Amino acid sequence: MKNKMYSVLYALAAAVFYALNVPCSKLLLDKIAPTVMAGLLYIGAGIGVGIMYLFRYKHESSAERLAKEDTPYTVGMVVLDMIAPILLMIGVKLGTSANASLLGNFEIVATTVIALLVFKEKVSKVLWTAIGFITLSSIILSFSGKESLDFTVGSLFVLGAAACWGLENNCTRKISDKSTYQIVTIKGLCSGTGSLIVAMILGEKLPQMKYILPALLLGFIAYGLSIFTYIRAQKDLGAAKTSAYYAVAPFIGAFLSFVLLHEKLTAAYIIALIVMIAGTAFAAADTLVHNHSHVHTHTFTHTHDGSTHTHTITHCHDHEHFFTDKKHGHTHSTAELEQFLIHTDHHKKEAM
């Protein structure tokens, strides 16, 4: 349970770090083209965490590093991170940015559905409820008028981008037990390079060096540290639940824009925030429940035919623990294994 609470903090830290991206990037986007900006942020993440990795490398065991069997998920993570921005850019070009913002919320649902169907990750009813509230709050926050509801060909590309990021989240989850430093370094440098290639294809120009350095620094904080803590959270929470907690990032970003850029907090923000809090409460409730098995061994002795026989019976049942402020309770699951009794039935003779 302690590990899960730390993981929740990691997920929320990831959201806070990424939320810095919104107001800070706005200050740089007047001088840097959008796709180039994305590339620089990723590369900044790769370089920054890569430098951290130089000091960590000697202390890692070979078992912690990515191995040959992790290659499919590592390649998938990088390739999907390259494809998703391309699909998003096409979607925005063929549709509207408002529509893209609204449909981008599908990433949370896509991550959860893929985790459930493809990677067989357990998703409880409580977590589905949390995801429902969180998705609704994100839709409220990103809704910007009638044009948000216009479904065009571009919308399909935006949904495709969200699905790619959902699959990418799950690929990253499969290797989250390995070196976080190594994963973020590879992800940052490879995805950043991919984004810059896309930028060149789109005809975007590199900015002056005095703008590149702040972008790289922002990338290290908003992308590098965010991805780092996100992957750490996935180790215990899984892809679906981490995605749910991470969804608070837009709300933190909007609040920081209010503080730093003096942008207004709208009524929609307040309503969406209330719905988000409800969703986060459900996600927290699901996190505080964990399943485990209890095994009880009973030994009893009886005498017949002049001999003493000792029987050992093991009673095993699964149940859920839940925690509240005042009590620690048990809820027996249906998997009581129907009073599963294992008779070892090896009779130990003891002299009377």
DSSP string over 200-238: HHTTPPP--HHHHHHHHHHIIIIIIIHHHHHHHHHHHHH
**Domain segments of the chain as ranges:** 2-272, 290-350
The two structure tokens encoding residue 116: 């459930």
pTM value? 0.71
Beta carbons of 337 and 317 less than 8 angstroms apart? yes
CA-to-CA separations, 281 to 88, 126, 130, 132, 306, in angstroms, rounded = 31, 10, 7, 12, 63
pLDDT for 193 equals: 92
Q: How far apart are CA 163 and CA 347, in angstroms?
A: 60
Phi first, then psi: what are they for 6, rounded to 5°?
-60, -40
Q: How far apart are CA 27 and CA 287, in angstroms?
A: 37
With a CB cutoff of 8 Å and minimum separation 6, the contacts of 290 are: 1, 4, 320, 321
pLDDT for 101 equals: 67
Beta carbons of 194 and 143 less than 8 angstroms apart? no
Q: How far apart are CA 163 and CA 159, in angstroms?
A: 6
Phi first, then psi: what are they for 32, rounded to 5°?
-125, 130
pLDDT for 338 equals: 34
Beta carbons of 14 and 226 less than 8 angstroms apart? yes
Beta carbons of 36 and 204 less than 8 angstroms apart? yes
Residue in the block written with tokens 């007047």:
30
pLDDT, tens only, 256-294: 878 877 777 788 888 888 888 888 888 888 876 644 444
Rg over alpha carbons for the chain, rounded to the nearest Å, is: 25
pLDDT for 347 equals: 36
pLDDT for 304 equals: 56
Q: How far apart are CA 239 and CA 170, in angstroms?
A: 6
pLDDT for 342 equals: 33
Angle (CA) 253 34 38, round 5° = 70
Residues of the chain under the 50 pLDDT cut: 290-296, 317-352
Residue among 33, 22, 12, 260 nearest 141 (CA): 22
Q: How far apart are CA 111 and CA 131, in angstroms?
A: 11
Q: How far apart are CA 344 and CA 347, in angstroms?
A: 8
Q: How far apart are CA 311 and CA 304, in angstroms?
A: 13
